Amino acid sequence: MHGVHSDVLEKKQPDTGFDIHPVIRKRWSPRSFSERPITAGQVKELVEAARWAPSSMNEQPWKYAYALRGTDGFETLLDFLSPGNQPWAKNAAALILMMARTTFASNGRPNAWAVHDLGMANAQLVLQAAHRDIYTHLMGGFDKEGVMQFLGPGEDIEPVCIAALGYLGDPDQLEEPYLSRERAKRIRKPIDEILVAI
């Protein structure tokens, strides 16, 4: 598979009981990123995929802010990440701040589905990335208050997560505990635990 770090890649491909879409099987959240950069145009393509997600009232509550590695914006976003995320996320080719507008633009009422709908858009973004061999790692571990202060007062925008993304790198560049996690098999609850017939 792509010739790079194929031992890890193979391990990350789950045995799915069904013929799910190959790109869904392929996606996983790495911590090792290569030095190969990605461009603003590539980030735009991923957000184009996100744009076409369904949303309550077609509100499209998602907002994204990105920074490419080597820019001041990248350092700014990196600084907001929790200490457990910074050591590996610093090697990502880009960071994307993923936000949701929590009220409906038309009437100002709370949008109870805003974070759900951002999640739908994010799912499309990460799958489009996997399609391009770009791997994403979403993080809830960041200083949300700090990001909100940085954004300044404005519309009801909630920072929900920050994604690290890039091409896969050599897992051996990671230190513990990240190295073992990089080599671990992906696990999920059994389907009967999450699906019932009523």
Ligand X SMILES: Cc1cc2nc3c(=O)[nH]c(=O)nc-3n(C[C@H](O)[C@H](O)[C@H](O)COP(=O)(O)O)c2cc1C
β partners of residue 67 = 95
Q: How is residue 86 written in tokens?
A: 């910074």
Helix (H) or strand (E) holding 100: strand 94-101
Mutual orientation of helices 114-131 and 40-51 as an angle, nearest 10°?
130
The CA-based angle 25-137-184, given to 5 degrees, is 60
Provide CB contacts within 8 A for 184, sequence distance 6+.
11
Residue 73 near ligand X by CB under 6 A: no
Contact stretch for ligand X (CB under 6 A) within 49-57, 102-110, 132-140, 166-174? 132-140
Residue 53, SS3? Answer: coil
Residue 138, interface with ligand X (CB under 6 A)? yes
Contact status: 21 vs ligand X (CB under 6 A): no
Asked if 161 is part of the footprint of ligand X (rule: CB under 6 A), the reply reads yes
Question: In this chain, which residue has its C-beta nearest to ligand X?
Answer: 141
> Of 45, 76, 141, 183, which one interacts with ligand X (CB under 6 A)?
141
Size of interface with ligand X, in residues (CB under 6 A)? 9
By CB under 6 A, residue 29 contacts ligand X: yes
Tokens at 97, concatenated = 């701040």
Provide the minimum distance between the beta carbon of 137 and ligand X in the complex, in angstroms, as a whole number: 6
Q: Which of residues 33-72 bind ligand X (CB under 6 A)?
A: none
Binding site residues, ligand X, CB under 6 A: 28-29, 85, 138-141, 161, 186
